[in-house]
Chains A and B, each alone.
Chain A
Amino acid sequence: DIQMTQSPSSLSASVGDRVTITCQASQDITNYLNWYQHKPGKAPKLLIYDGSNLETGVPSRFSGGGFGTDFTLTISSLQPEDVATYYCQQFDILPPIFGPGTKVHIK
């Protein structure tokens, strides 16, 4: 199975800060990488698919990048409603493994 790692595991930043989360795959997955946002008690939400495509309705402060094995999710200006856990997920090869998650807090 492909292994997915994320860093950091948690972060704390101020409102308005630029925040970047990284995700690394254990082998080349081209751009078959999704990012999800998950708030406690809520349904997970797709933010980014195919590495860099913004899902419809997702605020433009979210962006994704990368190719091959290294990927990033960036929030250009952190907002209070962005407090959540963020997961990357590869969908190149079954099983579609999720990363361990990054918890984002507000300072």
Chain B
Amino acid sequence: EVQLVESGGGLVQPGGSLRLSCAASGFTFNRHSFNWVRQAPGRGLEWISYIAGSSDTVYYADSVQGRFTISRDNGKNALYLQMNNLRAEDTAVYYCARDMVGVGRVVCDLWGQGTLVTVSS
């Protein structure tokens, strides 16, 4: 089955760290670039990071630049998001999203169900 499954969310104190994982299955992982997109409570979708298939290109939203790090392991079909120095405003459901192959831009044709991150003391 073609799917993405996120894990690693939870409750963390402000200033803390968390590492999210996204396990991919059912398709050729290294052919696709990937993104992390989040949705804060009551808010819309916010793109936060992109990684190319070979990890040679990464991008971040200004809101997480310098605090979050995206990475991938093509041998394990896995995507990661290391989140440091977390703030209350980082509270959200985090989705991993696969880019359509061959587009070279952010066109998310497969999404996971999301994992909830809550930053609170």
Q: Which chain A residues have a beta carbon within 8 Å of chain B's beta carbons?
A: 32, 34, 36, 38, 42-46, 49-50, 55, 85, 87, 89, 91-92, 94-101
Chain B interface residue count, CB cutoff 8 Å, equals 23
> Contact at B59–A45, with CB atoms within 8 Å?
no
The verdict on B95 contacting chain A, using a C-beta distance below 8 Å, is yes
> Contact at B44–A87, with CB atoms within 8 Å?
yes
Q: Which chain B residues have a beta carbon within 8 Å of chain A's beta carbons?
A: 35, 37, 44-47, 50, 59, 61-62, 95, 97, 100, 103, 105-109, 111-114
Interface of A is mostly: loop
For B63, give the chain A residue with the smallest CB separation: A95
Q: How far is the CA of A36 from the CA of B106 in the complex (A)?
A: 13
- Given the interface pairs A44-B45, A99-B44, A100-B44, the reply to whether A91 lies near B112 with Cβ below 8 Å is no
> Contact at A34–B107, with CB atoms within 8 Å?
yes
